[in-house]
Chains A and B, each alone.
Chain A
Amino acid sequence: AQSVTQLGSHVSVSEGALVLLRCNYSSSVPPYLFWYVQYPNQGLQLLLKYTSAATLVKGINGFEAEFKKSETSFHLTKPSAHMSDAAEYFCAVSDRRSQGNLIFGKGTKLSVKP
């Protein structure tokens, strides 16, 4: 069965610092991978997705993620954190065996210090 593991339930960075949120997946067939963001009191929004095209995926708000099959990873990065990036980030996986239904990780809460 598919699964995702997000390392670190809480990450804190200073404004302007690199953001790195880790996600490792498990899937026996080629996966589709997603990052969603949830701002306080809002629903989740899609940041970016990997669908077996380019391994480096660029998303909204300056975020990007790289699919590394050898490491079964799909880490999310942003070169320079902004205060508005403070939110909870969820990694998710789907594949044809799950009928396209997303399997989510536990989420990582990002705090940005001034």
Chain B
Amino acid sequence: EADIYQTPRYLVIGTGKKITLECSQTMGHDKMYWYQQDPGMELHLIHYSYGVNSTEKGDLSSESTVSRIRTEHFPLTLESARPSHTSQYLCASSEQGFTEKLFFGSGTQLSVL
């Protein structure tokens, strides 16, 4: 059912590299999100966007940055990856509102060596 795609699915990279995690949705949703998920821990909201040219920081401080130039695209960038960035990153989208259903991508598992 979900029309939201994340690439790559897995990424293993060395310390200091710049990386971009891709997220695209075809549902025309205005709102998009990035969550960070570690085993046994809460999903933490790290970035969200209300629409084109809108980006906001979430509850968990993150060294990553995001951009929203097109409605369907919400990439996340780490300028210099570190082992502490190792985690699962989940992208999601929804209609605007307080009770709207979130559609999640399958996630990117990032490992920084």
Interchain nearest-CB distance for A8 vs B (Å): 12
The answer on a CB contact under 8 Å between B2 and A102 is: no
Give the number of residue pairs across the A-B interface with Cβ within 8 Å.
59
Whether B75 sits at the interface, judged by CB under 8 Å, is: no
B33 to A100, Cβ gap below 8 A? no
Residues of chain B at interface, number, CB under 8 A: 28
Q: Are B101 and A46 in contact (CB under 8 A)?
A: yes
Are A49 and B99 in contact, with the CB atoms below 8 A? yes
Partner of A101, one of B2, B58, B90: B58
Measured between beta carbons, the chain B residues less than 8 angstroms from A102 are: 45, 102
- Bound-state CA distance A95–B106 (Å) is 26
**B97 x A104 contact (CB < 8 A):** no
B40 touching A43, Cβ below 8 Å? no
* Chain B minimum-CB-distance residue to A100: B98
Interface residues of B (CB under 8 A from A): 1-2, 4, 33, 35, 40-45, 48, 58-59, 90, 92, 96-107
